[in-house]
Amino acid sequence: MQSASWPAVSSSRLLLQALEELAANPEQSAAVRETGHCVVLAGPGSGKTKTLTTAMARALAEDVVEPRGVACITYNNECAIELEMRLARLGMEAGDRVFVGTVHGFALSQVIAPYARCVPIGLPADFRVAKRAEMRASVEAAYAVAIAGTDDPHRRWSFASEKRRRDVDRTRPEWRGRNPELAMFIEAYEFKLRQQGLIDFDDMPLLAYRMIKEHDWIRDALRARFPILFVDEYQDLGHALHELVLLSCFGGGIRLFAVGDADQSIYGFTGANPELLEGLTERPDVRTIRLRFNYRSGRKIVRASLGALGEERDYRERAGAPEGELTFWSTTQGLDMQARAIAETVVPKLVEKGIPLDEIAVLYRAAYLGDKVADALKQADIPFVRTDGNALVRRSSRLARFIEDCARWVVGGWRDADPRYSRLIYRASLLVFGRHATADEERFLSEQLIGFLQSTIGHVDGTHAWLQRFDRELISSWRSIGRNSEQEWDVCVEMIANTDPASSLDMPLGHFAGRVGGTGRVNLSTLHSVKGREFDAVVMYGVNARDFPSERDKRTAGALRETRRLFYVGVTRPRKELGLIFQENQQSPWVNELYQRSKADDSDAGVGL
């Protein structure tokens, strides 16, 4: 049955157009029209986000009657922002009928906040999320009570955290049967938090699971509001989300549409487990659809990517795809020379081929390697932007992205509605309240926001001073009333420190906002931070034998497989050209496999190994 008022004419047209575009791909078309439990296995560049958002729009138009809606859970805030943008292009704004956010955001806003007062879970009405110092103090206090040893309590807590994320259902024998000392440590830690009216981030999905499991009426309320649950990047979301899915979808009547790729599971250190996705595909009540076509990369890159993975997959390039290029660069010395070669040779050659700086990405395993590349690019006077741990802006932070959008509006976006002011207000309401604002709340936010934005149009004192005003005039007020416990308000303080003029870090606000012509910048990113992104050209830096894999990676078979998947993620980011740089005669064995595959494919291998 179709909703009486959804979609509007323009939304219907946009949805029909999207469905027509997917009709040429039978797998995508089947996925978006599926009305039962469905798992979509989507390789790199296979159009999984378009498939997911089109499936959401179609479900809202044809399967879900107002005021009911759908929920979509994804890995981090950056993924959520991307999905919201894609949905908006289909005429569908996230709001009362559509939840898009992280598993923590879903647990907090849709389960804990509305129902915690109704069930005995030990939380006061004014509970809040613990700060880092409060969590550390609770760990130390719990260690003294539960273990009373002489070890570093925080080192021991790292093992306890792993158990806490893995053993979600504490009624099962393994909770106390598998390392009972850690179970007592966890329970003591949580007790210390509750004494202060606090929860932490790992608490959110755990408490939500417990509430849904112990109270059928909460599960019924969720199903009444969200009869369909969409999950993006399923392989990254861990045991708590998986248990919630089993409970809500296969035990609670909610329909599941999950998208993922076990080959891109690279967050084992946060509890991600690709076997959970694989387990769903084995269920008889789930339809599994594999997207086989790579719409992103050239033919040679698609073929080489299978060499990066070390396993064969039925992936293929789209008809008419460009050839793509693989280039292998070697230096006589180590990482410092490789960084200089990137700045002095590799990037200039890519630019000569007509690839813009902002379509070039340099990828590496750790932020300290990014420091080396950044220094080399500075020496060569090549602008860059970082998205690693030493970045100016945390790409996964909603607040950081909101600040960037406000800067873009101030330096000219107000003229051409880029971004629209209504979008800024909506984003502000999510930051402060974690939901759509009421009319009074929106009026309050708008008075403050428009006053600040209008007063800073034409700002010429640099990004640092503008950020200081942003923090003083907006954030100081919003954080005092904020009900969105997931928000990291100190992100702006970090950005202020990262633009300190005393350290020659400041920049014109237009450069920060990315609206100044000719300010394209090379992208520097860790491999973990780049997943989900794509560029015309990618340079993988430091692919040496001692780094891919490292000795630490070789300690367990699981760690080695995950590192191989990390390498695969990097190789599958480019559209046109992939370059790998390493020390001469000390390249990774996985580079050798790519080289041999490129030779077999009769490709132009660039510089020989």
Instruction: Flag whether 46 is marked binding.
Output: yes
Instruction: Flag whether 49 is marked binding.
Output: yes
d(CA 434, CA 441): 12
Residue type, 267: Y
d(CA 68, CA 75): 24
Geometric angle at alpha carbon 9, from 66 and 25, rounded to 5°? 90
Geometric angle at alpha carbon 459, from 453 and 462, rounded to 5°? 120
The answer to whether 2 touches 27, Cβ cutoff 8 Å, is no
Question: Which of 202, 203, 228, 207 shows the shortest CA–CA distance to 218?
Answer: 207
Secondary element (H or E) of residue 289: strand 287-291
Beta bridge partners of 138: none
Using DSSP's 3-state secondary structure scheme, residue 153 falls into helix
Task: Determine if the peptide bond prior to 419 is cis (ω within 30°).
Answer: yes
Using DSSP's 3-state secondary structure scheme, residue 526 falls into strand
Give the list of residues 6+ apart from residue 545 with CB closer than 8 angstroms, or none: 586, 587, 588, 589
The answer to whether 358 touches 537, Cβ cutoff 8 Å, is no
d(CA 237, CA 204): 13
Q: CA torsion 566→570→571→576, rounded to 10°?
A: 170
Using DSSP's 3-state secondary structure scheme, residue 536 falls into strand
Cα atoms in the 13 Å half-sphere on the side-chain side of 1? 7
Provide the H-helix boundaries in 107-202. Answer: 113-115, 132-146, 153-166, 174-177, 180-195
Pairing of strands 522-526, 384-386: parallel
Instruction: Flag whether 532 is marked binding.
Output: no
Radius of gyration, CA atoms only, the chain: 25
Using DSSP's 3-state secondary structure scheme, residue 55 falls into helix
* Residue that the structure tokens 């919003």 belong to: 478
The answer to whether 96 touches 436, Cβ cutoff 8 Å, is yes
Using DSSP's 3-state secondary structure scheme, residue 70 falls into strand
Residue type, 27: E
d(CA 105, CA 77): 9
The answer to whether 241 touches 72, Cβ cutoff 8 Å, is no
470-to-473, 475, 485, 570 alpha-carbon distances in Å: 5, 7, 20, 36
Instruction: Flag whether 47 is marked binding.
Output: yes
- Could you list the beta-strand ranges (E) of 387-457: none
Q: At what angle do helices 48-62 and 9-22 cross, to 10 degrees?
A: 130
DSSP string over 300-356: HHHHHHHHHHTS----EEPTT----EEEEEEESS-HHHHHHHIIIIIHHHHHHTT--
d(CA 300, CA 292): 16
Instruction: Give the residue ranges of the annotated binding site.
Output: 42-49
What residues are designated binding site for ATP?
42-49
